[in-house]
Structure 1
Amino acid sequence: MLVEQTLFGVRDKVKIAIDRLQAFEPPEGYYLAFSGGKDSQCIYHLAKEAGVKFDAHYHLTTVDPPELIYFIKEYYPDVITDKPETTMWNLIKKRGLPTRQKRFCCQVLKEGGGEGRIVVTGVRWAESTSRKNNRGVTEVIGKNKADKILFNDNDEDRKLFENCQKKGKRVINL
């Protein structure tokens, strides 16, 4: 059990996450964005514990460490591996090296799935005070934020529940 001690008592964070997953469950199930990292493993197991319908997707980038691919195949055999239309090397030839200001690789290689679905991602709220304090249970971004399409970037502006007009996705960041 993962609990948080507050001035007002104890909060069971696992129960809160499970309740949220159950509250938003769509009839077709969730599209779970799975990277193989600790956050993805956590949301995968929370979805299992919640008993919600989901399909987990790992987006191959073509520069993935072999150990990661073997780990996912061994411990998460039901995760679907989505292969990109192009390789990272071809993207570099076409657009140059990615930088902090020029982040195109995730958009092209990792964020293509989940259109028309509710996508579940792992975002570590405890990484900053603004993430922790500026979030409601459900928030939908309007037109000003619709152009923001990097759902796995752990950005300061990340919401718990987001709507992306451009990609036709709704995202729950647990």
Structure 2
Amino acid sequence: MSQQIYEKPLLLTYSGGKDSDLTVNLAVKAGIPFEIVHSLTTVDMPETVYHTRQVFAKLEEKGFSCKIIKPTYKNAPVTMWTLIPQKSMPPTRFARYCCSVLKETAGKGRFIATGVRRAESAKRASRESFEIIGSRKQYSVLLSDNEVFMQDNTEKRTMFETCRPKAKRTVNPIIDWTDDDVWDYIAAENINVNPKYRDGYKRVGCVGCPLSSKCNRTREFEEYPTYKRAYIRAFDKMLDVRKAKGLATEWKTGEEVFEWWVNR
């Protein structure tokens, strides 16, 4: 379908997690033409960055095209630390601008494959095999009166998805795989995965992700204090911007913002 519709190979979006490694393995074994891309969020765990480089190096030796995309915002390079002041607010569960800017930019005008699974969600429901995706502001799955943003891993994600405004199609080949399915396959195929799983991490996303639990975020910042300090500095700059714009704020320092952001 990718070759027929776009005249380009399937584009695998790679996060550095186990589901991405499994999806790449399936694509290699299937013998299909594909390219692979990783969006550098700038807040990934260092181990995820190193693992991605190692995986890409081995794939490139086999002739596969691999690309790491550095984020931009308003046509300029950006990091989480420079994005927060520009947005004048911390990223939250309900305002996840970090995902749309740092993570979800790859694959415009392409047919992409992801490692999204419904089992990563707290709930699970039966959905249609095909869904049409449209959005007024950003990508979303529209089914009846339900809506879910494309960066969500929920029961509303499906095997095939189409974003009409961006001419972007998505296939989620392991959408119905359970955690046991994933780990059994990884063991059977002897797939090398992110070392953070050996440290007890169940997911290896961005450090401090608002979607993660308070317990997980606290552990991450204890393990990566440099990231904590970077967030606090970014929040300090954010407060300066808010003051310059005349925006009201209940915080006085970046540390106060950080404490609210993680604990409340």
TM-score for both structures, normalised by structure 1: 0.75
Structure 1's consecutive aligned runs of 4 or more residues displaced over 4 angstroms after TM superposition are 142-147
Give the secondary structure class of the aligned counterpart of 1:55. strand
Question: Could you tell me how far 1:143 is from its partner in structure 2?
Answer: 6.5
CA contact (8 A) 1:141 1:162 kept: yes
Separation of aligned partners in 1, 2:139 and 2:41: 23
Pairs aligned (count): 148
CA contact (8 A) 1:31 1:57 kept: yes
TM-score for both structures, normalised by structure 2: 0.51
Identity in percent: 41
Aligned in 2, Cα 1:98/1:142: closer, same or farther, shift over 3 Å?
closer
Gaps of 5+ in 2: 61-65, 73-77, 142-148, 174-264
Give the secondary structure class of the aligned counterpart of 1:162. strand
Question: Could you tell me how far 1:155 is from its partner in structure 2?
Answer: 2.8
**Which segment is superposed worse, 154-163 or 48-57?**
154-163
- Partner deviation per Cα, 1:83-120 (whole Å, 9 max, x = no partner): 11111111111112111111111111111111111010
Separation of aligned partners in 1, 2:79 and 2:165: 23
Aligned position for 2:71: 84
**Which segment is superposed worse, 120-129 or 79-88?**
120-129
Question: Could you tell me how far 1:159 is from its partner in structure 2?
Answer: 2.0
CA contact (8 A) 2:135 2:165 kept: no
Give the secondary structure class of the aligned counterpart of 1:153. coil
> What one-letter code is carried by the residue in structure 2 that aligns with 1:152?
Q
> What one-letter code is carried by the residue in structure 2 that aligns with 1:100?
R
- Partner deviation per Cα, 1:37-83 (whole Å, 9 max, x = no partner): 01111111111111111111110011122211111111332331111
Give the secondary structure class of the aligned counterpart of 1:139. strand
Question: Could you tell me how far 1:167 is from its partner in structure 2?
Answer: 2.6
Gaps of 5+ in 1: 1-23
Question: Cα RMSD over matched residues?
Answer: 2.3
Aligned in 2, Cα 1:117/1:63: closer, same or farther, shift over 3 Å?
same
CA contact (8 A) 2:139 2:150 kept: no
Superposition map of 1:31-50 within 5 A: 31-50=11-30
